[in-house]
Structure 1
Amino acid sequence: MSFTSKRVVNYFFKGLLFVAPLALTAYIIYYIVQFLDNLLPVPVPGLGILIVFGLITFIGYLANIFITRPIFELIEKWLFRIPLVNILYTSIKDLMSAFVGDKKKFNTPVIVKLSEHVSRLGFMTQEDLSMIDEEELVAIYLPHSYNFSGNCFLVPRANVRILKGANSTEVMKFIVSGGVSELSEPKK
């Protein structure tokens, strides 16, 4: 390969590194917006997503009002009594509330010592496991790289060190990218 063709190939790959993530991000966002917009068959593009957003916001408002809150609690009680629905509903609700609820769970990044020379980054999701008679253990979520799945481990508290001042979003991005993303300096 000549000097000029090496340059062209190098420029192509640099361009690909910029275009591919941008195109995939735009593609995913486009299809999510299109899916949400098509939930309600409204002839005006974008109106369906606005109606869905407004409806979800209104339901959230009703769930917080003193008068209507008991109705939502009653609906949840009924859902908890249905065997399969109970498992699905509570799992999805717990996962959603870990990210957006009052009880956020992925906001305590930690380093877990797995052996003398191996540690992993993760998130402490439960500090108190006394309900299962394990006062010395904490629950740690360890996400997989290049995947949004992960494992929950119960490890001795002594093997866990909280990363003070670390940004949870950056730590998650670092883990999911397989350690390729850059981490900024922790805030002190």
Structure 2
Amino acid sequence: MQNTLLLDHQVGAGKTLAGIALVMEQIRMNLIKKALILVPNHLSSAWAKEFIKAYPSAKILVGDKIDNKKARKEFLYRARNGDFDAIIMKHSTFENMNVMQSFQEEVIEEQMKSLSIQLADKKRLNETIRFKDTKRILEEIDKQINRFKMKLANLAKGKTFDDEIAFEDLGIDCLIVDEAHYLKKIYAFS
């Protein structure tokens, strides 16, 4: 069961504390075991201080001093193998993590399938009603399908991320993303 919550309050309204309390209360109620909190690079220490201030006995791992591949690898091993309530990870560390290739392929194939259905629908619709921009729209959908095919081909060539520990290996069952708009490069065709 997946639940999603967006805290979109003004600066200083207590979003950080609310996120921390959300994690710790779910742990207390035995709903989750390990949370990952993704934060902008410059906020990892601030999150850690707030966390310890609110829950002094919490077991947290903070990735605030990760500046190279070796440090990132050590941090990820500790995150995977340690008994932590929460892991505070910088966005840049997360962006360099690997995701299981099978999952990446599945997501790309789903997007290609959706675009192919849209392309077929637009072509069928164009046979009955001639829209002004139909040719451009059809070309754009076709270009995007080809981009996804290239992504799949690149995945088959090999990984460019840290390939020792994938996100799925960490045992995370709760994800909090601070400043999620920094990570919003998700494709959406409209």
TM-score category (smaller protein): under 0.3
Taking structure 2 as the reference length, the TM-score comes to 0.23
| Structure whose alpha-carbon radius of gyration is higher | 1
